[in-house]
Chain A
Amino acid sequence: MNEFAKHMIKTGRITKIVEEAPNIKTFELSIAMHAEPGQFVMAFLPQVGERPFALTQAGKKIAITVKKRGPFTEKLFSLKEGSFLGIRGPYGKGFSLQNVGKACLVAAGIGIAALIRLAEELAKEGASVTLIFACKSANEIIFKERLEKVASLHIATEDGSAGFKGDCIELLEKVLKKQSYDKLYCCGPEAMMVSVLKLCEKYAIDAEFAVERYMKCAVGLCGHCCLDEWLVCTDGPVFSKEQLLASKEFGRIYYSKSGKRMRFGGD
């Protein structure tokens, strides 16, 4: 395919919608695509917008799993089976799976969407997979069946409605005290990833993180998704522990729709 045509929107229809949780849905599409775990696609709703999502299913039919959180996802949630959806991608650099015997995956909330296929791929490669999955409450735990097939699943909920009562940092530290791992993979809110990064440093574990930034083009032009000199769309979204330890902006700075420098948590 020519170098420009590969970025053109692939069009498909929604073949299945799964209500994973009260505000989380999976949309399966009649679009075939191969993608590494950690790579992402841009989903296109005509005259509504275009947003980045991780693939929670690849191959003959891809799927994205979406948490409702703004006008774009609200519109997406109003779609029915048979509705049109456009996709371009896959984009970015995925997770590296080489030489991992024992893997620890840490997801918080919808961050699981970036790790589900990784868990499955690692298991397929013969790795033993431990997965720590933290949610606010039991009803936000998604993909439980799929995850239990490939991983030893440790659940943490803030309200204690399932699994360990507390956040994933406490649970992760307990797990790390007992076991050593070749590699840790993490996706979740940035403040949580900052805490996980610190633990990886403390326990000297090799690690990769899937980072999210406000993004417009996904092809390295607009510059909005920069993290220091890197671009999350083309250099990421997966970054190594070493990269993030060297970052001045991870956990601190992102750039808004105008390009203005913003601080996490406001001020």
Chain B
Amino acid sequence: MLAIELCGIKLKNPLILASGVLGLNKNNLLRAQKGGAGALTIKSISLEERFGHETPNVAFFEAGMLNAFGYCNPGLEEALREFADLSCFSVPVIASCTASNASDFVKLVSALDKLDFAAIELPLSCPHTPGHGLLAGQGTVEATKEIVKACRKKTKKPLWVKINASLPNAVDIALAAEQAGADAITCSNTLGPGMVINIASAKPVLAFKVGGVSGPAIRPIIVRTIYDLYKRLKIPIIALGGVLRGEHAIEMLMAGASAVGIATGIAIRGPDIFKKCCDEMSEWLKKHDYKSVTELIGVAHE
């Protein structure tokens, strides 16, 4: 009932652990696998080891969260060791990598291509790390085209491009990625950036001052962006933003997503959020006489 196929990859359910949370190492991914995720995305790898921003890396507000981890990761060499053997996973594992320019992206994709990852995701959209994503100017049609084209030549694995729905031309950027050879679009990275000020000290909470906004507050923006993307794209869309419950995932599918990512929700419902959402989705599908979750994709357009 929940099984889907995405870029030729079979998923037992459409809920994917999004990149950036619980993906530092295999320990983390195994935990999300146990929690019921249909696929697992690793935290983005850079060529060199990165320590990221100082804490606080997270700041909460009433309707969500901001984060600015700053792409901390142990670097490519360590990642190639860590993820060399993926046989402990019963669900597909997706790679993710980040770089400042196309040539570094090419080095990363070439190296990650040799491992057993089911797909490779390129986040060209992080709003809070100097030298990466939006702060490296990757959130443009030109840069997206250049990076995706260069990476496309280095791997036959499905290539997913993660965009940012904060950008007014998000649809054009997704189209550019599709034309350059992307196999799917992940929408969205965290929005903004935003800021939370601790008024008692009159200082921003986050050490980096600004951070990407996630959680229920951004969900309507993501739903609308998915709706817009579905009208224009031929390739599948992975929706990501503010999904806490099975009903939220169903909303994303109805807008046109083929699969749904979860990240911030783990802080609220724990790593078992995937199982919980699957149960909620199954129950809803039964109650409304759907036989498969795939029947929901894009129905809001009919």
Contacts and interface: CB of A to CB of B under 8 A. Distances in A.
A222 B270 contact: no
B61 to A, nearest CB: 7
DSSP majority for the A interface?
loop
Interface residues of A, number: 40
A261 B74 contact: yes
A226 interface: yes
Interface residues of B, number: 51
A228 B51 CA distance: 21
B274 to A, nearest CB: 13
A223 B28 contact: yes
Interface in A208-242: 216-217, 219-224, 226, 228-231, 234
A164 interface: no
A223 B63 contact: no
Interface stretch (A42-50, A57-65, A98-106, A151-159): A42-50
Given A9-B205, A220-B266, A221-B264, A226 B28 contact: yes
Interface string B50-79: 111011111111111101010011110010
A256 B23 CA distance: 14
A2 B263 CA distance: 18
Contacts of B69: 216, 222
B222 to A, nearest CB: 17
A181 interface: no
Contacts of A260: 49, 74-75, 78
A4 B60 contact: yes
Given A258-B75, A260-B78, A221 B263 contact: yes
B168 to A, nearest CB: 27
A226 B198 CA distance: 29
A228 to B, nearest CB: 6
Contacts of B25: 223, 226, 255, 259, 261
B223 to A, nearest CB: 19
